[in-house]
Structure 1
Amino acid sequence: MKTKLVLKQILMSLLVTLIASSSIAQKGQIEKANKEYDKYSYIDAREIYLKVVEDGYQSAQVFQKLGDTYYYNSEYADAANWYQKLINQYPNEVEPIYYYRTAQCLKSMGKYEESDLMMEAYSKVGGAGIILNNYKDDPDYLKSIAFQAKGYIVEKTRINTEYSDFGPSYYGNKIVFASATKNTEGVKTFAWDEQPFLDLFTADMDENGYLSNVMPLDGDINTRYHESSATFTKDGNTVYFTRNNFIDGKKGRDKEKTIRLKVYKATKSGDNFWTNVEELPFNSKEFSVGHPALSKDEKRLYFASDRPGTFGMSDIWFVDINEDGTYGEPVNLGPNVNTEAREGFPFISEMNNIYFSSDGQSGLGGLDIFVAPLNADGKAGKVTNLGEPANSPKDDFGFIIREEKRIGYLSSNRDGDKGSISDDIYRVQEKCEITITGLISNELTGEPLPGAIVFLLDENNKEVAQVVADENGKYNFEALAACDSKYIIRGGKDGCEYNEREVRTPSKTGTITVDLKLECDPCPPNDLGCRLALQPIYFDFDRYNIRPDAAVELAKILAAMRQYPELIIHIESHTDSRAPFKYNEVLSEKRAQSTLNWLVEKGISKSRLTAKGYGERQLQNRCSDGVECTEEEHQLNRRSMFIIQN
């Protein structure tokens, strides 16, 4: 018995030792992973964290950092998986920002309702600031984005590689972009995402914006570390670009031994050879500066940075470029643009709009592209999401455009499943669409003509579309016409002559109004008397005999019926309002039959005629019972009319 007890104690001691050894080993692995994570070596850190989890160790920190290794590489579905485990299993240890990141990941997966619920949770656990205000200010953001969406055609360019390609910038009749193709300087890979380091390349751009002939940027700009996101002066002789903290063959590291990003300047020497690379004075080894963009007048340089004073992970800043070549103090562009999340990739257009990317403004998921006008002082006005198709549930950024030509480019990983490795460059062409609307009316009376047919014809008289005018005579060709083009608007209706107008559409998306007046027959289509320009035949008060003046008008009816044997006529006869209602019914019937008999006596078959009296029910004027009228006014109501029957 004593031997069994001793053996049990020995086994328990061994088990405790093994568990303690395993725990020590796991902690050592986590410390190793944390070091890789702090150096932004996310792929290496991820492998260690995953191994630790597989071995049975879990913690809020491990789930959080595992999620981050995916989030920072734009692998949002995997990031969502670990963030949701973090929130579900360690709710008391979750920082509010992770509710927001989870919401962003869910958006990128198209799970907008779940994302909104996560935003509500973000608010309840203490989330605050610009991000939350943006959400609360527009809870129906998807509808707002759809309403504001700009019409673009987005297509992948031919210059993309199997690696990351992004960040185009204009350089005369070329673009310059960053690529991690294997044909870059050196063959080392970047520990963040295990891709080759980035270099800058040029591509020829034809008049329609199609790209070809990719070549490395000549000169001293590309190194064995990262280069990306450039901006060029209009004369093409100066470039500002992003590079790792590396110059003159020396690396610079922050206090955590990390090589940060900086903005550099270079000038062109000779035939497209870039040299004289120099670092800008507002850089630092302790924070990153990148994504430079010149203002329209080239007196201000915008950039992204996480420098002190940044609201979140990165903000857009600017510095003034002085006449002597020095630079002013960096200024944060402010909370209208910047949030507690990521803002970057600014671009200033010739129309003085700033385009930038953010995952803190209300968007469709991942990074979205936004635009805001720049005021006279260079500050941004109202921010608008470009909407689909410029944006997608994944990352969309690096947008540039020559607005006058309506052609530009953007970067996106929308067509891939490898996060940032799937970044590609897309050609963007603004859909310049014109809506043509207007009123179809009667030229003589000005009354609208509901049911009129309206045709949209191109300059070759080929039909583009046709619509029917609504009950108010309005027609609408919604976004069916192209900009800066000739069209013909043609309208017609039974009883009216066709009319048309030639128009030239404007050069910008919008709506133009083209009204058409049709020359119409003033007669109702089945009113023979009107069509033959007949005056109604009139009767004396309380009489139903055909007067001599009426016989003259009836002779015209007789001639028409002899000329057109197919004509069938209905005779409507009326009285004025004097005398009792029943009496007038009888009197009008006698007038109708008197008119019919006159035609029959002249040889018209009775089978072609019908007649009915309507008494005083269809007065032509105001002279109803009790209204004092002149004899002439009463006379207008004592009449017979002639209606063609089908």
Structure 2
Amino acid sequence: MKTVLQKIILFTLVFSYTSVCFSQKKQVEKANKEFDKYAYIDAREIYLKVVEDGYSSAQIYKNLGDTYYWNSDYDNAAKWYLKLISQYPSETDVTYYYRAAQSLKSINQSEESKKYMSMYIEKGGDPGIIKATTTSFLEYQVELEKVSVNTNRSDFGAAYYLDKLVFSSAAMNTEGTKLHDWNQEPFLDLYMADMDSEGKLSNPEPLKGDINTPYHESSAVFTKDGNTVYFTRNNYIDGKKGKDRNKTIRLKLYKATRDGDNRWENVVELPFNSKEYSVAHPALSLDETKLYFSSDMEGTVGMSDLWYVDILAADSYSEPKNLTRALNTEARESFPFISDKGKLFFASDGRGGLGGYDVFMVALDAQGLPTGEIKNLGAPTNSSKDDFAFVINEDRRIGYVSSNRDGEKGSVADEIYRVQEKCEVMIVGTVFDVDSKELLPGAEVTLLDANNNIVDKMIVGQDAAYSFTAQCESQYSVRGTKSQYAPNEKVLQTPDASGTVEIPLPLKLIDPCPPNDLGCRLNLQPIYFDFDRYNIRPDAAVELAKILAAMRQYPELVIHIESHTDSRGNDAYNAALSEKRAQSTLEWLVNKGIDRNRLSAKGYGESQLTNDCGNKSECTEEEHQLNRRSMFIIQN
């Protein structure tokens, strides 16, 4: 179709352009504001050494599983989570059943995954399935299908007409078999087809009445009541052809009305036509007070621009106005269409695209002018050939586009494709501190599918906002991470209709360890002693095994052991008891092969309490327990 109209309108200039390629570099490194000379101490390596030495605990298995889970190593994550669940079921938080299930699913152990997901639910777990209210959302990820009314000639330019579809076709000129002398194709006429609920077409027949002539008719738009049509035709009315000074028959816009027998009559030419330029491809605003069209009239920026007029009254119109230089280019803009959501779709070969005509979209403001970013609809709507005349019913998510993508014969290859919009959902949210509610710029957010495969990821900006496109009726996880914060993950089931789902991502700040506190770095659990005793209990040995593994792994480590008590009891007694406990801890490590020269120990009694639970205070056992601690300080 493009080549036919190109001849008629004298669009003989070949416009070439280079597509602009964009590259986006993602920031993937965590914030690292200051150098930590002890950063080489790898907690995971230490935990693995501890396990090799025969020690285990629920906390070790949790931490090992997590170090793999948050790094998407689901094989190893599953290994440690299953050990945790089997050996320490009473100490396994319900969350770890979910993580185990997800890890197993990721390594294709679906039956095992179902088993642990069931256990997760049985133990009171809330999978966080969010049923969101859908909102209107238009996304041009579509599937294309050729319509059944296509012929072996040129077929293009769909237009909605009540419950039917009108289109242009050169299959058989209703006024005879006259052929265009440039491509030996019949001239175009307007046809009407039945349209079912899925947008499938059938029973094509030419429009009745006075619209079709021996020359070209194409590109129509109908009023909502179906009683008026604006359409494109050669400069031909009342059996007479009109030509410009170069003897070329230009295109003009005409208007017709429908009579009681569904015949089109009262064909009138619009007053802003001219035999010296072309006016074609009409579109109506939603309130039907503006008529948009394509033209190369005086004032056009390029080869053809989009213009509009205000419809003032019956057969009365304002002067044509250019639809802004922000939209029109030095090449061709054509085939406008206004959707039922107030968006302008049009074809252009003057913007970066996939080749030839591409379809673009831009929102319109209250005055009917373009506002915001002009977007290319991309593949598969667009191709390396000509793609144009895009129309869509946004409520039904069904539309049509014309294209010659499957042929090499120009207009002969034009065909109409049914467009079925894919159901997609936007997952949006912000990352923030769970306590202070402050936004967390620089956090990394990852979208994972039901099998824990990474779908997309991004580093949030200063607004801490993220946005992902997802499929309808599918399970996803949204995972947030940031330096010095515990990771957080939320799982959701997307709705069955296009829309937006908001998933806030709160993160919990982890108090950073002091540079020389090895116990903090290894997430050492409290080392408890029996009342009035200082021997090393089995549960304390598990924690000391972490220190032992670290000192074996890093021979340069020199450790000072600090032992503290709570305030209960005599001050002098507590000082002596803490000293015995410190020395007992030192001897345990020496007996395991650590050089005594690398160790020192001191008891501080109740002299360095971490809270206000001093003598005569009324503290709980939990509060006193915070003071009965051992610390392992790295010495310079």
Q: TM-score, normalised by structure 1?
A: 0.56
CA deviations over 1:38-76 (Å, ceiling 9, x no partner): xxxxxxxxxxxxxxxxxxxxxxxxxxxxxx9999469xx
**Is 2:561 aligned against 1:574?**
yes
1:155 aligned partner: 144
Is contact 1:491–1:516 with CA below 8 Å preserved after alignment? no
SS in 2 for 1:574: strand
Please state how far the C-alpha of 1:217 moved relative to its aligned partner.
2.5
Distance 1:515 1:266 in 2: 57
Instruction: Give 1 or 2 for the bigger CA radius of gyration.
Output: 1
8 Å CA contact 1:400, 1:410 repeated in 2: yes
Match of 1:421 in 2: 412
Q: Name the counterpart of 1:595.
A: 584
Greater relative contact order: 1 or 2 (C-alpha under 8 angstroms, separation 6 or more)? Answer: 2
Equivalent pairs counted in the alignment come to 463
Deviations 1:450-498 (A, max 9, x none): x9999967xxxx65746899999xx999846225x575648899xx999
Query: How far does residue 222 in structure 1 lie from its aligned partner after superposition?
Result: 2.0
Matching of residue 249 in structure 1 with residue 239 in structure 2? yes
SS of 1:615's equivalent in the other structure is strand
CA 1:637–1:240 in 2, change beyond 3 Å: closer, same or farther? closer
**Letter in structure 2 aligned against 1:391:** N
CA-CA distance at 1:231 after TM superposition: 0.2
Separation (CA, whole Å) in 2 of partners of 1:254 and 1:245: 10
In 2, Cα distance between equivalents of 1:471 and 1:287: 52
Deviations 1:222-258 (A, max 9, x none): 2222110000001111111112233333333444444
Check whether the contact 1:295–1:348 (CA below 8 A) recurs between aligned residues.
Answer: yes
Q: Counterpart of 2:169?
A: 179
Could you list the per-position Cα deviations for residues 624-643 of structure 1 after superposition, in whole angstroms to 9, with x for gaps in the alignment?
Answer: xxxxxxx99xx99996579x
| 2:290 aligned with 1:411 | no
Does structure 1 retain, via aligned residues, the 8 Å contact 2:219–2:281?
A: yes
Deviations 1:195-245 (A, max 9, x none): 111111223334443434433233332222211000000111111111223
Q: CA deviation at 1:419?
A: 1.8
User: Matches of 2:585 and 2:467 in 1, distance apart?
Assistant: 53
Task: Sort the Cα spacing of 1:212 and 1:440 in 2 relative to 1 into closer, same or farther, 3 A.
Answer: farther
508-517 vs 377-386, which moves further = 508-517
Instruction: Return the TM-score normalized by structure 2.
Output: 0.57
Distance (Å, rounded) in 1 between the aligned partners of 2:391 and 2:455 = 38
Using the aligned pairs only, state the percent identity.
42
Contact 1:588/1:615 (<8 A) preserved: no
Q: 1:397 aligns to what?
A: 388
Displacement of 1:406: 3.8
What residue is the counterpart of 1:332 in the other structure? 322
**For residue 155 of structure 1, what is the amino acid of its counterpart?**
L
Match of 1:295 among 282, 285, 292: 285
Match 2:20 to one of 130, 141, 164: 141
Change (3 A) 1:455 1:215: same
| 2:263 corresponds to 1:273 | yes
Q: Secondary structure at the match of 1:196?
A: coil
Task: Give me the whole-angstrom Cα distance separating, in 2, the residues matched to 1:231 and 1:445.
Answer: 52
Q: Deviations over 1:377-428 (max 9, x none)?
A: 3333456241521333332221222334443222222222112222222233
- State the secondary structure of the residue aligned to 1:420: helix
Aligned to 2:600: 615
Other-structure match for 2:216: 226
Distance in 1 (CA, whole Å) between partners of 2:256 and 2:5 is 33
Confirm or deny that 1:353 pairs with 2:353. no
Once the two structures are superposed, residues 536-579 of structure 1 have per-residue CA deviations (whole angstroms, 9 ceiling, x without a partner) of x5xxxxxxxxxxxx644657x647599x9x997868871489xx
Structure 1: distance between partners of 2:602 and 2:493: 49
> Aligned AA for 1:313?
M
- Matches of 1:338 and 1:593 in 2, distance apart? 81
Instruction: Indicate how the Cα distance of structure 1 residues 574 and 165 shifts in structure 2: closer, same or farther if over 3 A, else same.
Output: same
Structure 1 residues 238-637: aligned runs within 5 Å: 238-382=228-372, 384-389=374-379, 390-431=381-422, 432-435=424-427, 463=451, 465=453, 479=468, 481-483=470-472, 485=473, 487=475, 489=477, 502=492, 512-515=502-505, 530=526, 534=528, 551-552=531-532, 558=537, 574-575=561-562, 594-595=583-584, 614-615=599-600
Deviations 1:13-58 (A, max 9, x none): xxxxxxxxxxxxxxxxxxxxxxxxxxxxxxxxxxxxxxxxxxxxxx
Asked whether the equivalents of residues 490 and 501 of structure 1 are also in contact (C-alpha less than 8 Å), the reply is yes
From the superposition, tell whether residues 443 and 175 of structure 1 become closer, same or farther in structure 2 (CA, over 3 Å). Answer: same
Opposite residue 595 of structure 1, the aligned amino acid is S
Helix, strand or coil: the match of 1:421? helix
Q: Rate the CA distance shift 1:144–1:424 in 2: closer, same or farther, 3 A.
A: farther
Counterpart CA distance in 2 for 1:274 and 1:154 is: 34
Instruction: Indicate how the Cα distance of structure 1 residues 609 and 551 shifts in structure 2: closer, same or farther if over 3 A, else same.
Output: farther
Change in Cα spacing, 1:519 to 1:174, as seen in structure 2 (3 Å) is farther
Please provide the CA RMSD for this pair. 5.7
Q: Deviations over 1:120-177 (max 9, x none)?
A: xxxxxxxxxxxxxxxxxxxx734399xxx97422524223222211111112232211
Deviation, structure 1 residue 178: 0.7
Kindly indicate whether the alpha-carbon contact (under 8 Å) linking 1:399 and 1:410 is maintained by their aligned counterparts in 2: yes
The residue that corresponds to 2:201 in the other structure is 211
Structure 2: distance between partners of 1:618 and 1:417? 89
Deviation, structure 1 residue 365: 3.5
Cα distance change, pair 150–271 in 1 and its aligned pair in 2 (3 A): same
CA contact (8 A) 1:169 1:229 kept: yes
CA 1:383–1:420 in 2, change beyond 3 Å: closer, same or farther?
farther
Closer, same or farther: CA 220–553 of 1 in aligned 2, 3 Å: farther
Shift of 1:311: 3.9
Q: Following the alignment from structure 2 to structure 1, what is the Cα–Cα distance between the partners of residues 479 and 20?
A: 41
Distance 2:313 2:584 in 1: 99
Contact 2:168 2:191 in 1 (8 A): yes
8 Å CA contact 2:270–2:315 kept in 1: the answer is no
Of Structure 1 and Structure 2, the greater helix share is in 1
5+ residue gaps, structure 1:
1-67, 75-96, 113-139, 538-549, 578-586, 601-605, 624-630
Q: Residues 205 and 479 from structure 1, CA distance in 2 versus in 1: closer, same or farther, beyond 3 angstroms?
A: farther
User: Quick check: 1:293–1:347 contact (8 Å CA) kept in 2?
Assistant: yes
Tell me the distance in 1 between the aligned counterparts of 2:396 and 2:339.
12
The 3-state SS of whatever aligns with 1:595 is helix
Q: CA 1:304–1:427 in structure 2 vs 1: closer, same or farther (change >3 Å)?
A: same
Farther-moved stretch of structure 1 (237-246 vs 225-234): 237-246
Any conservation in 2 of the 1:576–1:637 contact (CA below 8 Å)?
A: no
Contact 2:430–2:466 (Cα < 8 Å) also in 1: no
1:199 is the counterpart of 2:186: no
- Work out whether residues 345 and 357 of structure 1, in 8 Å CA contact, stay in contact via their aligned partners in 2: yes
The gaps in structure 2 that reach 5 residues or longer are: 25-137, 511-518, 549-558, 565-575, 609-613, 616-624
Deviates more, 1:265-274 or 1:376-385: 376-385
Q: Is the 8 A contact 1:218 1:272 kept in 2?
A: yes
